[in-house]
């Protein structure tokens, strides 16, 4: 086996149920591989984190990790008219997004982020409540 380094800002790591780990192209929508994905991103603007969309992972929780910078993670209200819940992440912090919970990100400053989840079934919905 040849050992090589992986640029985590260019590729993702997929952890498969059989124990294999592979460097692959990042997938932000549903994947049928059955693998958990670890993906790292350098983000400069809200557009880089699809702040205008809600995201949901029905098959697993997601760890959203702030490696540098700062972001706000918003949770969609359960009922129309209710306020969004918000968690502020600073460098070195993470939040676990519950399975099936709609969420989105907004940047405080340019940041490096890491996402760890099972992408199978991931859904995106355009926000209709933009301010």
Q: Which domains can be identified in the chain, with CATH numbers?
A: 12-126 (2.60.120.10)
Span 24-40, pLDDT tens digits: 988 766 667 789 999 99
Q: Which tops the pLDDT comparison, 22 or 1?
A: 22
Tokens representing 96 are: 């676990």
Q: Which tops the pLDDT comparison, 79 or 8?
A: 8
Q: What is the CA radius of gyration of the chain?
A: 15
> Percent of the chain beyond pLDDT 70?
94
- Give the span between the Cα atoms of 76 and 128, in whole angstroms: 11
Q: Label residue 130 by pLDDT band (50, 70, 90).
A: low
Asked if residue 60 lies in contact with residue 46, where contact means CB atoms within 8 angstroms, the answer is: no
3-state DSSP call for residue 48?
helix
Indicate if the pLDDT at residue 41 is higher than 70: yes
- What is the residue-averaged pLDDT of the chain? 91
Average pLDDT score over residue span 1-18: 91
Indicate if the pLDDT at residue 104 is higher than 90: yes
Q: Which tops the pLDDT comparison, 105 or 29?
A: 105
- Give the span between the Cα atoms of 11 and 85, in whole angstroms: 31
> What are the C-alpha distances in Å from 114 to residues 53, 79, 84, 127?
18, 29, 23, 23
Q: How many CA atoms lie within 13 A of 21 on its CB side?
A: 8
């Amino acid at each position: 086996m040849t050992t090589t380094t992986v640029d985590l800002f260019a590729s993702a790591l997929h952890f498969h149920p059989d124990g294999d780990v592979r460097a692959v192209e990042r997938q932000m929508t549903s994947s049928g591989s059955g693998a958990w994905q670890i993906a790292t991103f350098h983000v400069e603007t809200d557009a880089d984190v699809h702040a205008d969309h809600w995201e949901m992972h029905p098959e697993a929780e997601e760890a959203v990790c702030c490696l540098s910078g700062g972001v706000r993670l918003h949770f969609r209200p359960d009922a129309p008219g209710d306020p969004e819940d918000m968690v502020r992440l600073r460098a070195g912090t993470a939040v676990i997004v519950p399975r099936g919970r709609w969420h989105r990100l907004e940047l405080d400053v340019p940041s490096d982020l890491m996402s760890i989840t099972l992408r199978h079934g991931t859904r995106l919905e355009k926000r209709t409540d933009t301010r």
